[in-house]
A and B are shown apart, each in its own frame.
Chain A
Amino acid sequence: MPVPEDLLAIMACPVCHGALEDRGEGLACTACGLIYPVRDGIPIMLPEEASRTGGEPPA
């Protein structure tokens, strides 16, 4: 279930306040690279639940 555009537009990474993009598998911070999971349509915006992008450079 995609995160609504208007919600994504006001959301930010809780760690660095970077912009987020919906990558399907989660919401990825374009600044620090943390990926936050989305479960049953609910973004889990907790650093301890986030994973790292596999060495991918920040956008």
Chain B
Amino acid sequence: MPGAGGTIDASAYDEWFETPWGRYAFAAEAALLRRVLGDLGGSRALDAGCGPGRFTEVLRAAGAATVGLDLDPSMAARAAARGTGPVVVGDAARLPFRAGSFDVVVAVTLLEFVADPPRVVGELARVTRAGGRLVLALLNSRSPWGLASRSRRRGGAWAAARLLRPEEVAGWCRGHGEVRRQGALFAPGPLPGLRRLGPLLEKWGRVAPGRGAFQVIVVERR
């Protein structure tokens, strides 16, 4: 989600996902989210900082009734056009939802763009019901990939990002529930032969999930 610090071009960001590396990264990220989330049949899920709605589609495909939220109206319009469910424009630091409204709240690379990440974590936890799950996905600077390449390749979007250490984010989450971490995206970047090599890298990478470029923190809400 674009923060107050600058706007991200919604169409450039959305098109990044159709580049070879964008497709590879999204597939690895979506696969980890699917593994973490499991079957979401019968649940209501919020995609906070939904951007153009790519990950909202992953939640929908897992069976959830989704709501998307983004600060940027042009991102929200793109997400709404995907037809996955209702989308609202809103600020993750002041969510327009009642407490405990969602069974699952997912925020993919949202915290990197907000002014006060611990406050946003608190808001996301507030709208997650007791017994529900809050799933935060972050990009990891300490991964083979590195973030310099990422910032160039996501439609320039990452120029406005402020990277967070997963340990730090996990620390903010501990007051809200039981915390687990997982990782994916172990390829260092767009390599020749990535299509063949990629699946092996993703499999081998599971022995050191902390080195994945895509880190997922799951909070089981108390």
Do residues B97 and A10 form an inter-chain contact, with CB atoms below 8 A?
yes
Contact among A11, A13, A15 with B88 in the assembled complex (CB-CB below 8 Å): A11
Measured CB to CB, the closest approach of chain B to A10, in angstroms, equals 4
Do residues A41 and B80 form an inter-chain contact, with CB atoms below 8 A?
yes
Which of A3, A14, A15, A41 has the most C-beta atoms of chain B within 10 angstroms of its own C-beta? A14
Q: How many residues of B sit at the interface, in one of the four size bands?
A: 20 to 34
Judged by a CB distance under 8 angstroms, whether A45 is at the interface is yes
Q: How far is the CA of A4 from the CA of B86 in the complex (A)?
A: 8
Do residues A7 and B67 form an inter-chain contact, with CB atoms below 8 A?
yes
Contact among A15, A42, A46 with B87 in the assembled complex (CB-CB below 8 Å): A42
Which chain A residues lie closer than 8 Å to B101 at the CB level? Answer: 10
Contact among B44, B89, B94, B99 with A42 in the assembled complex (CB-CB below 8 Å): B89
Do residues A47 and B94 form an inter-chain contact, with CB atoms below 8 A?
yes
Do residues B73 and A12 form an inter-chain contact, with CB atoms below 8 A?
no
Count A-side interface residues using an 8 Å CB cutoff: 20
Return the chain B residue nearest A12 by Cβ.
B98
Q: With A40-B77, A41-B80, A42-B73 in contact, is A14–B91 under 8 Å at CB?
A: yes
Q: How far is the CA of A41 from the CA of B68 in the complex (A)?
A: 13
Judged by a CB distance under 8 angstroms, whether A43 is at the interface is yes
Q: With A10-B101, A42-B89, A43-B88 in contact, is A15–B94 under 8 Å at CB?
A: yes
Contact among A13, A14, A36, A42 with B77 in the assembled complex (CB-CB below 8 Å): A42
- Near A by CB (< 8 A), chain B positions 60-98 give 67, 71, 73, 76-77, 80, 86-91, 94-98
**Contacts A11-B96, A12-B98 given; 14 further ones with Cβ under 8 A?**
A7-B67, A7-B86, A10-B97, A10-B98, A11-B98, A14-B94, A17-B99, A41-B80, A42-B77, A42-B87, A42-B89, A43-B90, A46-B89, A46-B90
